[in-house]
Amino acid sequence: MNPRISDWAGKRVWVIGASTGIGQACAHLLVDLGARVAFSARSIDKLLATTSGTPRALVAPLDVTDRDSVGAAGEKIVAEWGGIDLVLVVAGGYNEMRADSFDLAAANSMIDLNLRGVFNCLDVVLPVLLRQGAGGIGIVSSVAGYGGLPKALVYGPTKAALINLTESLYLDLHPKGIGVYQINPGFVETPLTAGNDFKMPALMKPEDAALEMVTGIEKGQFHIHFPKRFTNGLRFARLLPYRLYFWMIHKVTGL
């Protein structure tokens, strides 16, 4: 569904959310494969620490909730490289929330980070890709976007919105020669999942998740999801009648 990538040598890749977790692992994997990689995140200290001694790394700090910040980083990258071959928007946050503990301020903060932050990135990146008539954009959503889950009262809807967004982007950008990648990880060992107090089936290492992401992009896949023994179960559950879906989620999570 997207052009295949057989060689990363010299590719210009911008990873937004590269200071920890999947983003960091993916950025370093791409460097190892020969790509030029721009590492972006809020913490300049973390970015400098993770890129120390890393060849072909460009540090471009930003805050995805601040459009001007994203714009400044994008201008720096394009000025340095002359263009961008792939943008990976990995930045996001998780805040456990249920209906009996609803917090509007926390909800709005998560929406700003997980959803409006992505639109800030699109506002900067889309003109570059459209002007080039080439390149691609990958957005990391989550399997939590497939259907409603306990403790994901706000997180889940933001990720469901990103799934819808990537589908719309594909319809608009594919005819123009621009790749779109919808990336839905299951549970990955990151700072976001470290505080979870429930069972996380098929928990993955960030390095394994990064390899799945990069392999899917190389193959030109639109829908990249992993680990499939877990994600395919959730995809199947979404096809069930609601009575069975709710029963299954309760049975699996105990919530």
Which of the residues are catalytic?
Answer: 155
The Cα–Cα gap between 179 and 197 comes to 37
Quick check: 208 and 190 in contact, CB under 8 A?
A: no
The Cα–Cα gap between 165 and 163 comes to 5
Contacts of 25 (CB under 8 A, 6+ apart): 206, 207, 209, 210
Distance of CA 2 to the CA centre of its chain: 17
Sheet holding 86-89, edge to edge: 57-59, 36-40, 12-16, 86-89, 136-140, 179-185, 223-226
